[in-house]
Structure 1
Amino acid sequence: MTEPQTLGRFAFVDHLRGMAALAVAVFHAFGSTFDTAMWAPLLPFAACAELGWQGVHVFFVLSGFCIAEKIASLVRSGRGPRAFMRDRFWRIMPAYWATLLVCLLLGLAAVPFNGKSPASALPPSMWAWFLDFGLVQHWFEVPSLLLVSWTLAYEAAFYLIAALFLAFRPAVGEWGVITAGCVLTVFCFLIRSCEIETPLRFWPEFWTGFLAHAFLLRRKVWLGIAVVLTLAFVTLLIPANPIGQLHLVSVLTAIVLLAAYRHDQDLIRWPAWQWLGQIGVWSYSLYLVHAPLLSRSLNLGRRYVPPDSPLYALLLLGALALTLYCAWIFSRLVEGPIERWRHRPKLQVECQIA
């Protein structure tokens, strides 16, 4: 069987990560004031911030794209699903656990200010502790210490499905895997309604990124764009569907990936947004810690500065600046060392995207 190619370094992915992480952070910065009176000059910024939740869907597409590259690299180096899941575990879980510790410490530090007992900052039971640290609390409808952990629960589910594809690839071949992923996507589209959250809810977005990678490997950019647009058209034909949703921003992200690859070096040299690439490098840290830091700092600030005050703009900027700085520190102290250990020479693979 012919070993698959890999795309190698695609630096513009970091810029997209940076944009997505900032969008989500700004959304949460304004999140508690969308329905309250606000200083008038801030209203246009609040309207833009309200769209920031779409950054989550950008992340899902980027995840599918990067996981496709990771799988190609593992196959090329002769490794299988165990290596894949081990790599994903060390990429996601240690930094996630460290963030849970940050959430606990911030919650306990806020106790003197909110008049609650220290127990209110802790999970309500040992079962809740177990679910939170196992990243499965979303499937049991148990509140999490970390606001954004539900997206990581979907990520973990995507990884399990990708590991199955990697396990069966020797038997069914590369096109068999692609066919299985497309069938699963169509299955998601065909489910009209679902009262229960399932790991497949955002699978079409993950798979859109996976397909973008597959078409780039074959240098069939226009065919890839046509397929992605076809998926978007199929979605529009289906009534409101909580599982088979493919958001417009996800389609646009996949098209950007397909169109930008050939121009990667030109794009990243543009001085106006090189800083986005830097944020993208530690975007996982920003994504993890932004919600607890923003919520605590803004809740404290609103005790003295109401949203309808001109000073609230300074409070927002200060909270965002503090969050970015703390996320960078977190990346240096937690994510960075873990990543250097994960990519130490004996585990090094050719994939430089994921």
Structure 2
Amino acid sequence: MNCGVNRKRVAGLDGLRGLCALYVVLFHCWAYTFRGFPRYRGPYWLSWLGFGRLSVVLFLVLSGFSLALAAARNDWRLGSLARYARRRAWRILPAYWAALAFSLVIAWTVVRQPHSAEPTAGSVVVYTLLLQDLFTVPTPNGAFWSIGVEALLYGVLPLLLILCRRYGPVVMLAVVTVPVVLIGVVVFDGSPPQGDNWLAPHLVPAFAAGVVAAGVVAAGDRLRHLPWAVLSVLAAIPAAALVLHQGARWMVNHYYWVDLAVVPAMTLFLLAVVNGRPAALIRLLESSPLRRLGSISYSLYLIHLPIVVVIDQKLVAPRLGHGTVAFAATTILAGGLSLIGAWWFARAFELPFRSWADVRNAILVSVAPLRLSDRT
């Protein structure tokens, strides 16, 4: 089985991103149809849907890995900071700003986000500038908190790579993780406050763990054959047992520690996937449906929540109330509309801007006839 570790594409990662985004959609359908999250009164067999936060943590691990892989193969050198910033901006901003406009229209004209006031002018400024992790304002889209976190982590990446180059990835990971643990234990006496802002500092270790994983892959074949899948299962057992035993309600009040606890297992699992193990899982992740889902995962994440809220509050809840039937209806309607909408949204606002080279080539192609006409 080809592990797919090459310079252009890593097999399995697109499918993994797609599954993460789809799980977040299901989580929100579940949370809004069984009211009272994190308190849950629905059927036990659906309780596995109550851990949407963990998908976001895995997204951050994947992001750190993907962004650092080329640098890890080049002695941890990122290259031009301007080029890096330009590529990141073209990758996330067009789709994000379009989704922000869509979310604002829904919030102002149809229904605002639950547990939030109607967006204000301050909301427009803060969310346009991706500062939602730093300032508290009414949100147009409850899923956007993680976009603000990731944008801040993009700014941290060059510093992480400098630490890797000078001291090694293990030291880098310790430098960003130990302060987070000490702050949680010493400053907050083991019970850090849970909120919607200032989440980036305690999520840096998740992003940094992805950077370390990139270093492991760049190290070559000598580490490829380690039992990464087995190690990931062993690392997951303590965290999974605790979360499953305590439930979603407990987890929501302990995100600070849960986020840190699941990162080792997620990182080891990522290394297993990158190295082609288990083979059956890689075949599944590389299947055409999951690869296509992965190609629109960012768009799906951006636009799904306003759709879920509209379907739930304006269509399903008034007719079916809340519960299993309402969940099924919301999942079919909102999930289906989100997937269809994400497919079109990605083609309009995401895929054309995947890289600066794509944008530059598109501009050159569009202006070439004008230049030719000027010459003639």
What TM-score, normalized to structure 1?
0.77
Q: How far apart are 1:210 and its partner, in Å?
A: 1.4
Match of 2:172 in 1: 180
Match of 1:352 in 2: none
Specify the code of the residue in structure 2 equivalent to 1:101: A
Contact 1:74 1:80 in 2 (8 A): no
Contact 1:57 1:247 in 2 (8 A): no
Structure 2 spans left out of the alignment, 5+ residues: 37-41, 241-252, 363-376
Residues 315-330 of structure 1 aligned to structure 2 (within 5 Å): 315-330=330-345
Match of 1:14 in 2: 14
The 10-residue stretch of structure 1 (87-96 or 74-83) with the greater mean CA deviation from structure 2: 74-83
| 1:166-193 deviation digits (Å, cap 9, x = unpaired) | 5x47xx8354565334312222222223
Candidates 326, 350, 366, aligned match of 1:335: 350
Q: How far apart are 1:35 and its partner, in Å?
A: 3.8
Aligned equivalents of 1:271 and 1:128: distance in 2? 38
Specify the code of the residue in structure 2 equivalent to 1:187: P
Match of 2:270 in 1: 257
C-alpha RMSD of the superposition: 3.9
Match of 1:124 in 2: 120
Structure 1 spans left out of the alignment, 5+ residues: 37-41, 115-119, 348-354
Is 1:284–2:280 an aligned residue pair?
no
Aligned equivalents of 2:324 and 2:46: distance in 1? 14
Q: How far apart are 1:320 and its partner, in Å?
A: 0.9
Aligned equivalents of 1:254 and 1:245: distance in 2? 15
Match of 2:158 in 1: 163
Q: How far apart are 1:261 and its partner, in Å?
A: 2.3
Aligned equivalents of 1:78 and 1:87: distance in 2? 12
Aligned equivalents of 1:342 and 1:76: distance in 2? 23
| 1:80-130 deviation digits (Å, cap 9, x = unpaired) | 22221221111112211100111122234416xx9xxxxx75x323x3321
Is 1:147–2:162 an aligned residue pair?
no
Specify the code of the residue in structure 2 equivalent to 1:102: F
| 1:232-262 deviation digits (Å, cap 9, x = unpaired) | 89999xxx97656544543332112212223
Percent of residue pairs identical: 27
Aligned equivalents of 1:314 and 1:223: distance in 2? 42
Contact 1:282 1:328 in 2 (8 A): yes
Candidates 291, 303, 306, aligned match of 2:321: 306
Residues 1-354 of structure 1 aligned to structure 2 (within 5 Å): 7-35=7-35, 43-44=43-44, 46-72=46-72, 79-110=79-110, 121=118, 123-125=119-121, 127-166=122-161, 168=162, 173=165, 175-176=167-168, 179-191=171-183, 192=185, 193=188, 194=192, 197=198, 199-218=200-219, 219=221, 220-221=223-224, 222=226, 246-263=259-276, 267-270=281-284, 273-301=287-315, 302-308=317-323, 310=325, 313-339=328-354, 342-343=357-358
Match of 1:39 in 2: none
Contact 1:6 1:69 in 2 (8 A): no
| 1:115-169 deviation digits (Å, cap 9, x = unpaired) | xxxxx75x323x3321111010231122221211111111112111112345x47
SS class of match (2:10): coil
Contact 2:126 2:132 in 1 (8 A): yes
Specify the code of the residue in structure 1 equivalent to 2:198: E
The 10-residue stretch of structure 1 (91-100 or 80-89) with the greater mean CA deviation from structure 2: 80-89
Contact 1:285 1:330 in 2 (8 A): yes
Specify the code of the residue in structure 2 equivalent to 1:319: A
Aligned equivalents of 2:200 and 2:144: distance in 1? 14
Specify the code of the residue in structure 1 equivalent to 2:149: Y
Aligned equivalents of 2:329 and 2:104: distance in 1? 27
